[in-house]
Amino acid sequence: MKQETTETKAWWQYGHVWLIIAGPAAVIVAGFITLAIAIRVPDPVVADDYYRRGLEINKTLAAEKDMQLAPAMQTRNHVVTPKFDTAKPNTPAKTP
């Protein structure tokens, strides 16, 4: 009987091994690139009066919202307000 010999290669000669290693290696390289960018280009400083500016923006937005709702509020108030008879003051008019 003859014994069959199979040719074995070293691990680095198989392509799928490099495919498996490439994913984590790419993540490590991307991490270092991100670190270099973060060190080289720091974030801008927030304005010293950021809280006051935020409050002013909120007031402006609230005022704009009130202006948009003004016609609806006027109509609602007009509908709710009872109509008074002009002939007899302080008496609600009868609606037909």
Rounded to two decimals, the pTM is 0.42
- How confident is the model over 55-86, as pLDDT tens digits? 898 888 887 777 776 666 666 666 666 666 56
Task: Concatenate the DSSP letters of all residues of 15-44 into one string.
Answer: HHHHHHHHHHHHHHHHHHHHHHHHHHSPPP
Contact criterion met (CB below 8 Å) for 90 and 84: yes
Question: pLDDT digit string (tens) for 12-25?
Answer: 899 999 999 999 99
| Cα–Cα distance measured from residue 69 to residue 3, given in angstroms and rounded to the nearest whole number | 92
